[in-house]
Amino acid sequence: MLYNKIVELLSDIGLELSQNGRNYRPFINDAELEVKILKPQVISKLVENGSQDIGFCGYDWIIEQNARVKELLDTQMDKVKIISAIPKEYNFDKLIKRKIRIASEYETIAKKYLEEKQINYEFIKTYGATEVYPPEDADMIIDNTSTGKTIKDNNLKIIQTLMYSSTRFIANIDALKNKWKMQKINNILMLIKSVLEARSRVLIEMNIAQNKLLEIIPYLPCMKSPTISKLYGESGYAVKIAVKRQEVNKLIPILKAKGATDILEYKLEKVVE
């Protein structure tokens, strides 16, 4: 659930939310901020009109609402694609020769797609569970999916991917013209970036004998350059590197084979570049 991911992300940057029951205005441990929980479908428009200064919402709803906002960051969370799909037994080319019923939450995105395809259609607005409409209540759906499993489970097949979406951190354009607000927003943005970068990396620490250092250095991926310091008694070197998490399973065996010892791996909390 996106809400839980955002709460965790804010907690990791030091902003703790607490709420009691169905309170849509949770307390936040920063007196300069107020938080409101809203449906993702409306957030981009509320940020656009200035009732909210910043927010998190899917790129799909920014496009759907034609929201004029400043995108500050693609968090890469909740990745989905917006697709058109029809029942498995249908033939798409034959289907679009007649007027068809389209079911979707995405009216703007759907109509743009259908008009570009020059498809004669009747639009049916849905409010969740769009995939259950075919075949009795719709001939085609336009919906979001992450894995495609729900589409397959409902005996549908994907015809086309219309766009890709993920959660974006957005701001009101006028809020960024206010010096104090801009500084506050930029500080939050910097911390969010540092947490997301830390999640993608780990810190590896190792000892390397003096005669092995030059041989190992070419194998050390790092953000800029490795941190190298002499061990007590000058018997070798202690080396630290921050590397991408997905590289670790291949890197550690190489380091071990090249003579690195006492290899330790640590999680990172923040990486500020």
pLDDT digits (tens, 9 = 90+) for 228-251: 898 887 789 999 999 999 999 999
Query: Do both 20 and 70 map to the same domain?
Result: yes
* Tokens of residue 195, six digits: 């947490």
At 248, give phi and psi (nearest 5°).
-65, -45
Q: Is the pLDDT of residue 110 over 80?
A: yes
Q: Is residue 55 part of a domain?
A: yes
Query: Do both 45 and 102 map to the same domain?
Result: no
Which pLDDT value is given to residue 220? 84
Helices (H), the chain: 2-12, 40-48, 59-64, 92-95, 107-116, 149-153, 179-199, 213-216, 248-257
Q: How many helices (H) does the chain have, and how many strands (E)?
A: 9, 14
Say what the alpha-carbon torsion angle 53, 56, 60, 63 is, to the nearest 10 degrees: 10
pLDDT digit string (tens) for 4-19?
Answer: 999 999 999 999 998 7
- In this prediction, what percent of the chain has a pLDDT beyond 90? 82
Which pLDDT value is given to residue 187? 97
Q: Mean pLDDT across the chain, nearest whole number? A: 93
Query: Do both 158 and 107 map to the same domain?
Result: yes
Query: Do both 142 and 71 map to the same domain?
Result: no
Q: Is the pLDDT of residue 177 over 70?
A: yes
Which pLDDT value is given to residue 74? 97
Query: Do both 150 and 184 map to the same domain?
Result: no
Q: How many CB atoms lie within 10 A of CB 84?
A: 22
Q: 50, exposed or middle or buried, with CB in 10 Å at 0-12, 13-18, 19+?
A: exposed
Q: Is residue 114 part of a domain?
A: yes
Domain that holds residue 130: 80-165
Q: Is residue 273 part of a domain?
A: no
pLDDT digit string (tens) for 179-205?
Answer: 999 999 999 999 999 999 999 999 999
Query: Do both 178 and 144 map to the same domain?
Result: no
CATH of the domain at 47: 3.40.190.10
Query: Do both 141 and 179 map to the same domain?
Result: no
d(CA 85, CA 134): 10
Q: Is the pLDDT of residue 175 over 90?
A: yes
Query: Do both 175 and 41 map to the same domain?
Result: yes
128-137, 163-172, 230-239 — which one is most confidently predicted on average? 163-172
Query: Do both 215 and 261 map to the same domain?
Result: yes
Query: Do both 109 and 158 map to the same domain?
Result: yes
- The pTM (predicted TM-score) of the whole model is 0.88
Which pLDDT value is given to residue 223? 65
